[in-house]
Amino acid sequence: MKILLDEMYTGLKEYFQVLGWEVVTVTDVGLEGAEDKEVVQYAKENNLLLVTQDQKPGELAELMEVPHVLISKRAIAELIDSEIRKKYGEKLEE
């Protein structure tokens, strides 16, 4: 499956490529600043999985049956918390 990264994740393109994914960004396909529905429609028409942090395109993707991953701020905070605790857990208790 090929991935479409929404605007806030364009800087992650190379990381996904190194991990073995085929990936394009909204900037790559000329959709920077486009309406959310346009981005979701593009993903649908091109069989792309949309990765976004914004609620609205995530919900539109759900309604339009477009594969997507909605990365919430809560999920990001939990990931960072987990990494801090893994790396510095003992020091946090001091």
User: Would you kindly state where each structural domain of the chain is located, as residue ranges?
Assistant: 2-92
48 neighbors 27 (Cβ within 8 angstroms) = no
pLDDT digits (tens, 9 = 90+) for 10-36: 999 999 999 999 999 999 999 999 999
| pLDDT value at residue 89 | 79
7 neighbors 32 (Cβ within 8 angstroms) = yes
CA torsion sign for 57, 62, 64, 65 is positive
Provide the residue type at 67 as one letter. Answer: P
Range ranked top by mean pLDDT from 4-8, 77-81, 90-94 = 4-8
CATH topology of domain 2-92: Rossmann fold (3.40.50)
| pLDDT value at residue 92 | 62
Q: Where are the alpha helices (DSSP H) in the chain?
A: 13-18, 36-45, 55-63, 73-92
49 neighbors 69 (Cβ within 8 angstroms) = yes
Nearest by Cα to 11 from 28, 31, 29: 28
pTM flag (> 0.75): yes
